[in-house]
Amino acid sequence: MTSDTDATRPRRRATIADVARAAGVSPSTASVVFSGKAPVAEATKERVLGAAAELGYTGPDPRAASLRRGRSGIVAVAFEEHLRAAFLDPVKTAMMDGLTDALAALGAGVLLLRDDPHAAPDAPTLASAPIDAAVLIGCSPRMRGSLEDVRARRLPVVVIEGDAGQDALRIELDNREAAGQLARHVHGLGHEHVAVVTLPFDSLRERGDADEARIATITTPVTQIRLEAVRAVFPDARVVSAGGSSIDEGLIAGRLLLAEGESRPTAVLAQSDLLAAGVIRAAEEAGLRVPEDVSVAGFDGISVDGLGAHVLTTAVQPAVEKGRAAGEAVARLLAGEPAASIRLTCTFREGTTTGPGPAHR
């Protein structure tokens, strides 16, 4: 029963010291009641909890506790792109599924961060957020600066699909092998006139045909590696870059590629399933049959809307597993255990969107 004379209650929020005083115990005892790090007599505990309730004390201030403990229980997950990328790209959502799963098991909170150079001045960043570790997604050269920030802070870092330094812990895909396998598949079908629709080259995300000079400027590692693998098989392949991984971008690139003309490719290798779906749509628009008139392959192995009866020929990547592996690596790093980089493999899947090329018909 709260007395009516409580009007003198201090305006500032109660601290654990206030609670201890009200309960007639020492601050350390009160602290232990809340942390449970040591046994406390039942009666004492009740007295402390009672005093806390009375004072409206809701538990230790996490900021102070975090300062004292030296840990915050928070792991940053940093994207290079707009944060929405994490929610609208099916491959990233699958990866986040695995990642949040593993981090939850570790008992860590997930702080979503964008590696934004012109963020609000007081916004949390990899350099300034109260985090215990960081996971960098799609680390391109531009992100290297952030990587250095994190490492300067001596925080554990895991890089997914990125161009990290030598000794950064990386979770990677066998992009080169998988893309090469797709290219060889198409080559084996007798295609010689092949085009590539790539993911963005860099954060500028410029669209359109790319000549050797522009290809040399690619900074996004995934784009670069997958492209190199295809060009190892088809050195003269026409290269068109998309502005992102979406059906619409694929459609734009596909229209460019499949326009009337002798130079029309007989096969298109897209660097993502969404792009491939867009290319197929462009083919249908142009009155071309897939795979009779043009073969199309993707990359990722996600299920795509609007493909109709087609089953995409693609490289199926273990996206959820990729995220989970990153989370588990963070857990090991945080526990001070040794952890090594991991390389996951894709599975080639032959669908109905690739067929014999001119040479084999």
List interacting residues with a second copy (CB under 8 A).
13, 36, 56, 58-64, 66-67, 70, 72-74, 82-84, 86-88, 93-94, 96-97, 100-101, 104-114, 116, 119-124, 127-131, 149, 152-154, 303-306, 308
Which member of 22, 29, 72, 76 binds DNA (CB under 7 A)? 29
Q: Which is nearer to DNA, 41 or 213 (CB)?
A: 41
DSSP of 134-163: EEEES--HHHHHHHHHHHHTT--EEEESS-
Residue 208 C-beta: closest distance to DNA, Å = 46
Residue 169 C-beta: closest distance to a second copy, Å = 20
Other CB atoms within 10 Å distance of the CB of residue 47: 20
Residue 38 C-beta: closest distance to DNA, Å = 5
Q: Which is nearer to DNA, 119 or 359 (CB)?
A: 119
3-state secondary structure of 76: strand
Is 33:45 a contact under the CB 8 Å cutoff? yes
H or E stretch covering 347? strand 347-349
Q: Which of 284, 349, 277 lies closest to 306, judged by CA? A: 277
Which residues, 81 to 100, sit near DNA by CB under 7 A?
A: none
Q: Alpha carbon 217 to chain centroid distance?
A: 23
Of these partners, DNA, a second copy, none, which one is at the site of residue 56 (CB under 5 to 8 Å by kind)? a second copy
Q: Does 232 bind DNA (CB under 7 A)?
A: no
Q: Which is nearer to DNA, 30 or 307 (CB)?
A: 30
Who's near 181: CB < 8 A, 6+ residues apart? Answer: 315, 348
Strands 267-270 and 194-198: parallel
Q: Does 70 bind DNA (CB under 7 A)?
A: yes
Residues in contact with DNA by the rule CB under 7 A = 12-13, 15-17, 24-32, 34-35, 37-41, 43-44, 59-61, 63-65, 67-70
